[in-house]
Chains A and B, each alone.
Chain A
Amino acid sequence: MLQYMIILLDDTSTSFCHYDVNTAKKRLINLDDLRAGIRMAMIENLTIQFVYPDYDLPQEYRDVIRTIDHSDIKPLTNATQETDVMTLDGWSWHVETQYLESRIVVIRTSLHDLLAHGDEVAVLLSKAQRLNVVITDVERFSDDQQVIYNEWLGKMGQEVERLYVNGTLPQFNLLTDRMILMTMNNCGAGNSCITLAPNGKFYICPAFYYENHEDSVGDLVNGIIIPNNQLYKLDNAPICRNCDSWQCKRCVWLNRKMTLEVNTPSHEQCVMAHLERNASRDLLLNIRKHGAFLPETPDIPKIDYLDPFDNINN
């Protein structure tokens, strides 16, 4: 069931996920479309997340946005005290930057750069309310990189543990989400979440819009029509439905890009998610050595595979 509507306010709205914004040409959503999108969200009981470009919106847009409860996703360059989610693209920013504290911070980075910036990640963990790391080159993750990524996750786990011992438990999507989850908690694009683009049409997620504007799943006049919508649901994803890497984004756009099917994750996405799951397992065990922690949450079981596809096909 749909629960969220993402509204891209401009073609240059910041990316907060795996996709790149492939245009520098500004195009604001039509004001009437914005009103209609908000109205639809109110009628359908959808929570709105507005995604902003790096410039200030005209006053009339801000007035319309203010008419509804919502979350703001903004690039660092345009963040304010009210920003809920702040996006950082790469590592050309300073850890003392304003507004990092007590925000949800999204960092988009290549794996190579991430591994080289562990110190900055450690600082962010101590400052931000929550840190979401989005690795933008999942498709290039090779089996050779497994060891090095695993080691990096281990080091970050030690940092989280240190912070916990000192009295705070940071939220870090790669390590702490799996510790507290009891079921799958994926991105939900096409299932619980839909995107309204600046052209007034709906898309499975922003990535589908930027990849191909023709790939819409409805508009504000005719409503949302997602053909084969069952394929966005967990039950119809043979590899994922029995998987317990519950923190995995299960990115349907990456799925389609890599395997040509929205319900089938690539080997790379599965292995990364399982390395994170296993690192979460180690972290949970280590934190529990310091005393009771989430006593109602069971241990994460030990498993002997990194790609659940192998279980289906062996």
Chain B
Amino acid sequence: MEKKLIGQVTPAERDEIKRLFERRNGLNELAKILTADNAELYERLIADMGETATKFQQWWEKMATLYNWESLPDGNWEINFDTCEIFLNRP
């Protein structure tokens, strides 16, 4: 896989996607232990997973448009949380 530096975001923008990334991971690991028996929490979890996934995708689309990032049909973007750098991964 090739990795190419294509841009950079601000620390505030980085914090936004980092929080969403962490939340998505948290929800995924919560989903492994929460069952439908706990109806109220389970429904909240499912709704939250959908909402977080949407926000996650929207962030990438918004930033890609804002910064005019290069893209590939079968590639994906990646962020380095330490440096705020954005990379394009091509298979």
Direct contact of A and B (CB under 8 A): no
